[in-house]
Amino acid sequence: MFKFDNILICLDLTEMDESLIGYANFLVDTFNPSSVTFIHVMDTYEIPEEITGTITDGDKPLKDLLKEEIEEKVQDHYKHADKLKPTVIMEEGLTVEKIVKYAEKNKTDLALMGKKIGYVGEGGVVKKIIGLIPSSVLLISETSAYRFTRIMVRTNFASPSVVALQMGQYLQSITGASIEFHNVYKLPYNFFPEQSAQAAQKLKAQLEPYMTKKYEKFVKKYKLPADIPFNYTVDVKGDEAQSLYNYAVRNQVDLVITGTKLKSQLANIIMDSTSEKLAGVEKNVPVLIVKDVKEFVGFFKALFE
């Protein structure tokens, strides 16, 4: 069973930190965890020694100065210190390695990250962390609302969708949110070149019996509840993540949950592309990426030990 007992919030010393700390308040209110930890990793290899020397305070190391800055932010914006005292961790080294190892060692259940934290190009920090970390990862933007009222669970009719649904049911039991399955049916453009709204609706109506049967088969195979609402959209542009995001925005979805699994033993391609794209900075609906913990812990040990 899922439980958000140990929550890790990843900060990067930007304005995004205030949003993350504010969202941490919401998570503490909602899930009543046993621990909440704020972590920042200083990539010292990126800071020339001559610059480091100009920004120290007397004999105080730069690492200590940055930790004080984080502690001040947490003190100003974290509202539950009397209920649950936070831990502030300042690490030095490679960001991905330090965060992933900390999460594994301390049995993190949920890592909270901002969609703008180091997410630059193919080598983005967020992309690498969410691919390697054994815990679930929740990604938010500065505009994310503090609520779970309507949850959309992405399904591709495979086992990761089952894990995502189980997470959705856990959140529903805590928050009372509604949950629904959503599938993106990928149709090659050359089969359906028209893109008018009327043509799209016509195609969806024609697909209805097929999609209903496919969903019923999926529910039966994995012995899932038969009363979970199911909907789908048709994608002719080859961008499942954008289709999911568009649906979420139109229907005021508060949270998109997607399951993911190992695709390769190579760290740069272990997460499916749709989950990765949903983590993109331009998609500001919160996304919760759920994993098969046993599978990822085994991979983690093989990778780092």
In a domain, 184, yes or no: yes
195 or 27, which is more confident: 27
Statement: residue 167 has pLDDT above 60: yes
* 1 lies in some domain: no
Q: What is the pLDDT of residue 236?
A: 74
Question: Quick one: pLDDT at residue 244?
Answer: 93
pLDDT single digits (tens) 211-263: 999 999 999 999 999 999 999 988 877 889 999 999 999 999 999 999 976 55
Mean pLDDT (the chain) is: 84
Q: Mind listing the pLDDT tens digit for each residue in 68-109? A: 999 999 999 999 999 999 999 999 988 999 999 999 999 999
pLDDT band at 300 (very low <50, low <70, confident <90, very high): low
Domain assignment of residue 261, yes or no: yes
Task: Specify the CATH number for the domain of residue 225.
Answer: 3.40.50.12370
Of the listed ranges 16-30, 44-58, 211-225, 235-249, the one predicted with least confidence: 44-58
Overall domain count for the chain: 1
Nearest Cα to 134, choosing from 110, 151, 159, 118?
110
Q: How confident is the model over 166-172, as a mean pLDDT? A: 95
Predicted confidence (pLDDT) at residue 299 exceeds the cutoff of 50: yes
**Between 27 and 13, whose confidence is greater?**
27
pLDDT of the residue at 118:
47
Range of the domain at 288: 6-304
pLDDT band at 267 (very low <50, low <70, confident <90, very high): very low
The pLDDT value given to residue 122:
41
- Predicted structure pTM score: 0.86
Confidence of residue 15 (pLDDT cuts 50, 70, 90): confident
